[in-house]
Structure 1
């Protein structure tokens, strides 16, 4: 089914055919700007991203799904709302019939994810952080829509106001770049904030850590006290980091590093400190 002279489905017409408006209480804001929708697949293909099997999280009425089907060999669309999932199965019956589209009804944080090659999604804002950090460790490239503030924190550099645990965690798995800011007017209904598209490219970090889970717990711990020196942050957060002997870590660590604040340490410095903490701090099993 097409709605325009170029053969694409009109986003507003898709919403009408779905027979249901977005529910902001369920964090639904549908991207309806054709120009933005048309550009999103380009952010994937211009870098040579493998689009043989694209995962879309939060497909809604299917405007982005329609664009992805022009760039991908196969698309798996996850949709939690049963009404929109039913609409997708009807709207894209031909694509489903030729195995180019699979609709998965369920919560993206709970369903089994397919063996996809890339994820391109307009994420529900309320769960965007949890979804992103379910996807990033899978080492697949992404183009994802976030709130602008969240996007800028993901891509922030050490020593900047936006730099934090999110920056280090995202950068641990991938190169992160904000490729476009998207105004409120591009959505229906309009959200209260500006949005941004983020492209992530998987990479191995230029440092090593003893254990990913411990590293993430260590980051979460020290960034809860980002305004304190690392000396105090390490000592005050053992209930989060799981360290058994924080004093041993402080005594063994470089004095300059312990005098710094979390927002000024590079990812490599965090990795070195986490490695030391794992070695001498007796983490709980």
Structure 2
């Protein structure tokens, strides 16, 4: 799709004034107004296919404007009807040219188009839900989160922030924190630091027999992250939906007693570990044992 000529990049504070709105923290509205941060977000996506970029939470359009300068097509999801109407007016030429589509509604509910990438300053209240709606689509992304969430998402085994979020996000993509952003970059200022995360989709380097069960199983184990795996497996069958958690424990113990690929992956005394020390590959191996030995009907 041919790009229309662009005027000078719009000033974010001027956009807020023209929109006639003030961000409302109670509605999860914190407009990104720092020009330097706004300019860098599309740059972090420079190596991505920017043929059709999705932006979740368009706000007053400061990031939208910069994405239109580098992408062939942009789709923006905005749940505030007044802001959606403003975006249609402010970017009327791009809408008319077919380069910009405004989807009014909640990003968790609207039908999302096929896109090649997503660059978004996410509403923090739905950051987890929308991230895990997007990750399975296998698109590269540059997303703004609360810093704490971003660090948990990118953490590795053994790190303090490593948890269910780390394993689940890493199942779909390589995750890296590329920049921290102070509250002063937003209007109104949030009470927390923020961070930009870049995700690069890839297949995991392990196999799972049932992805839905694997993700549910990881969630279950991390609900008792302070317990040993032996106890966590037994105590969370109601979450993982295991029929026979004791059979899983017995199968792992039996595998640890003899040489073989499972012992090689899990190591000795595996069931005495806690979830924070377990690698994604080990979780996958454990999930395979759980499916084989702990479920009455693996289908």
- Is TM > 0.5 for Structure 1 vs Structure 2? yes
Segment of structure 1 superposing worse, 252-261 or 65-74 = 252-261
| 1:277 is aligned to 2:281 | no
Q: Give, in angstroms, the shift of residue 22 of structure 1.
A: 1.0
Post-superposition, which runs of at least 4 consecutive aligned residues in structure 1 deviate over 2 A? none
1:222 matches 2:221: yes
Task: Output one character per residue of 1:142-181: Cα deviation in whole Å (capped at 9) or x when no partner.
Answer: 0000000100111101001000000000000000000000
User: Deviations 1:237-276 (Å, cap 9, x if unpaired)?
Assistant: 0110000000000011146221110000000000000111
Tell me which residue corresponds to 1:30. 31
Give how far 1:283 is off: 5.6
Distance in 1 separating the partners of 2:87 and 2:150:
28
| 1:10-61 deviation per Cα after TM superposition (whole angstroms, max 9, x unaligned) | 111111111111111111101000000001000000xx20000000000011
Please list, as runs of the form range in 1=range in 2, the aligned pairs for 1:59-208 lying within 5 A after superposition.
Answer: 59-208=58-207
CA distance in 2, matches of 1:12, 1:212: 45
TM value normalised by structure 1: 0.96
Deviation string 1:99-122 (CA, Å, 9 cap, x unpaired) is 110000000000111000000000
CA RMSD of aligned residues (A): 1.0
- Give 3-state SS (helix, strand or coil) of 1:110's partner: coil
How far apart, CA to CA, are the structure 1 residues paired with 2:240 and 2:283? 13
- Describe the shift of the 1:283–1:153 C-alpha distance in structure 2 as closer, same or farther (beyond 3 A): farther
Which residue pairs with 1:3 in the alignment?
none
> Aligned in 2, Cα 1:156/1:283: closer, same or farther, shift over 3 Å?
farther
If the length of structure 2 is used for normalisation, what is the TM-score?
0.91
Alignment partners' CA distance in 2, 1:198 and 1:256:
35
Aligned to 1:17: 18
Larger Rg: 2
**Runs of 5+ in structure 1 lacking a partner?**
1-5
Q: Equivalent of 2:269, from 252, 256, 262? A: 256
- 1:71: how far off? 1.1
SS of the residue 1:102 aligns to: strand
